[in-house]
Structure 1
């Protein structure tokens, strides 16, 4: 039997146009982040005191309550709203949870192994992108903006370093759970679930939607000097979800990326490994080429596996 070519679906005439849906989703996300941020600040104030809240906002780790305060801020002001907004959007705005969130587990288990392999072999490619990104500078008139972005990233890194100062296996597992699993679920529901689906319907082109979503995903993190590697990750996650039809393939890849970073950081802090996770000059040019070739081969296999199953209806 000859299969007919897969056709992208046009936005349904009875639906609100995807551009309007996108505006609603972005507005809802911004509102939720502000609302939950204020709620988190209130909790820190009540549980600790006003000084601790100020220290949390300024990343003053001299205060012993700053680190738990940062975790409260992370979970309540970021993780929760990024999960709640896409769920409510899919359920009550577009009334199509299955297509926008893609919570199905109906995919070949071998995909999880392929994703693990892709993420494992992607390290050299990511290192190249990080090094290229670090060398990028804005034109002269925008130098002030570049300085602001560098300062913001340094502050964000300071907060991350404080939160990932892990004194025990328990604290490491907690960080893996929050930074690895919860963050992966929340961000994938929002970006590869709702945003990517919106742009597939808006543009009628899956590839364009994946790249646009990846760029928005990287922009959302507001870290200019790690922009390119995060775009690449977003592209990987996007194809994993688009080809499998399940959000959980993207969550698995996202979890592997975040969770492994936490575990490696813990091992380095306790001198179990000598490799500094911040070192971006680990590999050489042959490694970069080998990494790229292996990734392309694994993606080709991944795509072929998904072709054996019905294509997900967007």
Structure 2
């Protein structure tokens, strides 16, 4: 398949193109938001900002805010990643999943990894919530705290699930759409090109995780989100299929929403607050650490097993999947995809 641009673009050119497409997608999304807002909700363009900042004050505030958030993520993030692939002449499935098909067990184990790590993550959440910048940056810390308080108030308003319908809309907008759109961008495009640019899987994964956390603009939640980005990044790097980190990302978001919904319905103890910044008791954290480590080991061993029907699949110069059992590298020979999608050799770790 031919695109408008050559598929041999350098990684930095792909990343610049991604930024341009993100901006275009953002503009297109807001054009639709403004149109629907006026036609369906009776809210003109000048009022949209006020409604979305304080949706609880307006009868249609929640619906408009959820619609806008979902559409921006879907068109700006997901649309930009898919358009980049099309413009450079690749097939979508082969670009984001070039190596092998995905057994359902991998998706299940990736989901279990996220659930098992939740008690462990509470320690990072508690530590990061109490972090302080140097005195010289006190003004920045105050500004960051104010922004996070505003974001938390908005999140609380949007996750006020006073009906089952609201909950399932929240699942679509806050769990499903981000899991797909953000993974396509951060792991599928950004991480892929950073790995190629630095010829190092670890540098690519860590830089992509840093960008993933930083772009959320939450200083007091940076570390746990960074660690989550590392988990998602290595799941993609090991598996070679975007569906694996998507499953983990969805599980992370959905578990938080489900716990919050149960708490609002008073089906669980008030102590199980997903918005709390307190660490769970150390026996839970220790058990979480051991189970998480075990699942990571299992996933690494199985996702990087290049033998049998799950052999490595790479992209040819025109985006066509090519593979042969004889040419499949051994688990010890970590390899990467070149700029045109061709398997070019060992990673530099």
**2:104, 2:55 → 1: CA distance?**
45
TM value normalised by structure 2: 0.80
Q: Deviations over 1:56-77 (max 9, x none)?
A: 2432412111111111220222
Indicate the residue corresponding to 1:242 in structure 2: 237
Work out whether residues 55 and 65 of structure 2, in 8 Å CA contact, stay in contact via their aligned partners in 1. no
TM value normalised by structure 1: 0.88
Q: Deviations over 1:134-160 (max 9, x none)?
A: 122222232222222222222222222
Work out whether residues 81 and 184 of structure 2, in 8 Å CA contact, stay in contact via their aligned partners in 1. yes
Structure 1 residues without counterparts, runs of 5 or longer: 1-12
Change (3 A) 1:216 1:297: same
Change (3 A) 1:38 1:132: farther
Matches within 5 A, 1:71-86: 71-86=66-81
Work out whether residues 52 and 69 of structure 1, in 8 Å CA contact, stay in contact via their aligned partners in 2. no
**2:98, 2:246 → 1: CA distance?**
11
Q: Larger deviation: 235-244 or 45-54? A: 45-54
- Deviation for aligned residue 1:99: 4.7
Change (3 A) 1:312 1:135: farther
Q: Deviations over 1:108-135 (max 9, x none)?
A: 2221222122111101221111112112
17, 20, 28: which one pairs with 2:21?
Answer: 28
Indicate the residue corresponding to 1:173 in structure 2: 168
Structure 2 residues without counterparts, runs of 5 or longer: 1-5, 315-336, 338-349
Indicate the residue corresponding to 2:8 in structure 1: 15
Work out whether residues 124 and 224 of structure 2, in 8 Å CA contact, stay in contact via their aligned partners in 1. yes
**Are 2:50 and 1:49 aligned?**
no
Matches within 5 A, 1:87-106: 87-93=82-88, 95=90, 97-102=92-97, 106=101
**1:266, 1:105 → 2: CA distance?**
37
Q: Deviations over 1:151-203 (max 9, x none)?
A: 22222222221111112222212211221112110111111111111011111
Indicate the residue corresponding to 1:5 in structure 2: none
- Deviation for aligned residue 1:287: 2.8
- Deviation for aligned residue 1:105: 7.4
Q: Larger helix proportion, structure 1 or 2?
A: 1
Q: Deviations over 1:271-305 (max 9, x none)?
A: 11112222233522333233222212211111111
- Deviation for aligned residue 1:254: 0.7
Indicate the residue corresponding to 1:3 in structure 2: none
Q: Larger deviation: 255-264 or 92-101? A: 92-101
**2:259, 2:313 → 1: CA distance?**
36
Matches within 5 A, 1:98-247: 98-102=93-97, 106-247=101-242
Work out whether residues 44 and 72 of structure 1, in 8 Å CA contact, stay in contact via their aligned partners in 2. no
**Are 2:274 and 1:277 aligned?**
yes
SS in 2 for 1:15: coil
Aligned residues: 302
- Deviation for aligned residue 1:93: 2.9
Change (3 A) 1:305 1:185: same
**2:115, 2:43 → 1: CA distance?**
43
- Deviation for aligned residue 1:101: 2.1
**1:108, 1:192 → 2: CA distance?**
20
Indicate the residue corresponding to 2:283 in structure 1: 286
SS in 2 for 1:198: helix
Change (3 A) 1:148 1:43: farther
RMSD: 2.2
